[in-house]
A and B are shown apart, each in its own frame.
Chain A
Amino acid sequence: MEPFSLLSGVAVPLDEANLDTNQLCPTRFNKVPKGPRFAQILLHDRRFNADDSEKPDYILNQEPYRHAVIAVAGRNFGVGSSRETAVFGLMGFGIRSVIAPNFGDIFFSNSLKNGMLPVRLPAATVDALMRQLLDRRGAQMTVDLPNQKVTGPDGNLHHFDIEPLSKRRLIRGLDEITHTREYGAAIKTFENNQRKSAPWLYS
């Protein structure tokens, strides 16, 4: 997994609540193997017409947002289907961090497993950041994972919470399966105990 530490650059305001994973990755693209095609798949039906021509009005089709590395979005970001292709789309486009008041649980986990950082900030803070981004086109932001700080377009710092283990994995780009292998003996012990306490699961 690609490590995540300090991220600075153009932040795109996705000024919409409830951007579910069906919007982030329309269903028909779920069968696409992981790869560069996902840059085009992100929010495909918002960005492209039926003939695949771009919709110039959509913010991700405008400069400098084609180079956005951070997105600020409304509440309930990534609810719905468990499709990890939603994260592949964001990562493929170049967005490494999404800031929102809350996230769908599965999307949140999927992000962390791909080296993408979902940042939860209070709704009022997200609103303020959104307004600044809408007022100052192309404004930059910074997400500092080691210090758990977001720097807004106005230079103000906002603290965010993240689980320590997730933080450590992201900063080091640790592979979760490799990490879990260290618990091999504990898993074996669990299975031996469960074989006695719930033998019907083993017959």
Chain B
Amino acid sequence: MRTLFDKVWDNHIVAEEEDETLLYVDRCLIHEGTRHTFDTLHERGLAVAHPDKVFAFSDHYIPTDPKARAGGVDKIPDADIRNMVELLIHNTDEYQIARFGWGDDRQGILHVAGPELGLSQPGIVLVGADSHTATHGAFGNLSFGVGTSETTHVMATQTIWQRRPGTLRVKIDGPLGFGVTAKDVILAVVAKLGIGGGIGYAIEYAGSTIKQMTMNERMTICNMSIEAGAKAGMIAPDDTTYQFLAGRPFAPRGAAWDEALKFWRALPSDAGAKFGKEVEIDAARVVPMVTWGTNPEQSLPITGRVPDPAQEQNAERRTEYSKALTYMGLQPGMLLTDIAVDRVFIGSCTNSRIDDIRAAAAVAKLGHAVVPAWIVPGSESIKRQAEAEGLDRIFTAAGFEWRAAGCSLCTALNGDQLKPGERCGSTSNRNFQGRQGPGGRTHLMSPAMAAAAALRGHLVDVRELGVGN
């Protein structure tokens, strides 16, 4: 009796040496930030083993200002940023790697556009030069983020040395309450596990709540596995998975599809398979969440109050909490809904898919933004779909800014960033100090919650607005 993780892992063992395994990598996703890998390939004169198994996306450094995107790459004003976008073009041309970049209607964030292309398939091993690569595990595969050395190794050999992680099942059962989203569920999971709780584990998310989620919701869940420190996040493939995949450009077709489907259906964990660790979450108890601190475990239900470090029993935690409150400029005990925001960002590989945009639009149509609020779709294809549904017009009428696809204000690499001290209601995945720009302050939340914060100028329980999921 094996888990989904065991099956995928065992299927990819090339060799074992002592307690490390040489795993075969089916797909490798890269982006503009992968420059150090290409620097090493050049310096050492290394060839890429299988250029057809590497896929490049322009997302981290590409501008999301529609006016900038209407011009050419050579018009990017910041020379260092322009250089990063251009390097990806030159390097992928040189090594004959497929690129979904500037001007390509398939361009988007690697963890959004990759799945759209059908690259993320059940049963495969996929690595990405980005820590949020666990997103792809929503399709029932083993996907994880790696640094530049490991990316170089994968590109040069199509393999990677790994220690076998432990297995952790997070079982979430029951229907989600009104106004509660996949983002709230994963914030609750991260709060429960802690940012180090998943270190050394591959998580499998299971239970009826997960089973009923769309692929977009499942990707939001798996995306933030790294925020609990986990190597990977996985969800058993099922008909929802297959329906999403069917007909996508890189998905198998015809007889190959039938053969793949037979293989995929055998992947889910066997009944009675043992996990190293088990955690259960009652979906009915999850409410809309927001972070108040400087790491993603520091979140609370929106109905709560900013913690008072003086009330904290654990001395280490007391110090952490007061440092976080100082950085965030918050008073102990204040209502979370009394926190005013300067800006709102709706986007990122966590929450920039069509469901997220629709949820934000449903809120935006109720009023007008009182602070600058950006909508940054995860891919150009989502942007087109949203425009076809008229969502862009809802946003612009409500004073939101409708932008082009990219990582934008989540990573703050492309020039989109907060000013020191600015506070942002954000649908991204990390609230670390300086994550959205030096001195910037981040509160993580769902797209509907972020849109509501834009209308009110402070954090708000979206359920009060009468719009749910």
Contact = CB atoms under 8 A, between A and B. Distances in A.
- State whether these chains interact: yes
Interface of A: 17-18, 20, 22-23, 26-28, 30-31, 33-34, 45, 50, 74-76, 79-85, 87, 102-107, 109-110, 113-114, 163-166, 176-177, 180-181, 183, 186-187, 190-191, 194, 197-201, 203
B433 A23 contact: yes
B199 interface: yes
Contacts of B163: 163
A22 B19 contact: no
A113 B20 CA distance: 14
A106 B146 contact: yes
Most chain B beta-carbon neighbours within 10 Å: one of A31, A164, A165: A31
8 contacts: A79-B196, A80-B430, A82-B145, A83-B147, A163-B18, A183-B15, A186-B14, A200-B257
Interface string B319-349: 0100000000000000000000000000000
A18 B295 contact: yes
Contact of A28 (B147, B148, B413): B413
B212 interface: no
Contact of A22 (B18, B36, B161, B434): B434
Given A20-B295, A34-B39, A177-B46, A105 B229 contact: yes
B412 interface: yes
Per CB-CB distance, the 5 closest pairs between chain A and chain B, nearest first, are A113-B149, A200-B252, A84-B147, A110-B147, A82-B131
A194 B260 CA distance: 12
A163 B16 CA distance: 13
B152 A177 contact: yes
Contacts of B161: 165, 176, 180
Contacts of B259: 199-200
B157 A181 contact: yes
Nearest to B294: A18
Given A23-B432, A23-B434, A187-B24, A84 B36 contact: yes
Given A199-B259, A200-B252, A177 B153 contact: yes
A165 B81 CA distance: 39
B368 interface: no
A200 B256 contact: yes
A103 B199 contact: yes
Interface stretch (B108-116, B122-130, B213-221, B459-467): B122-130
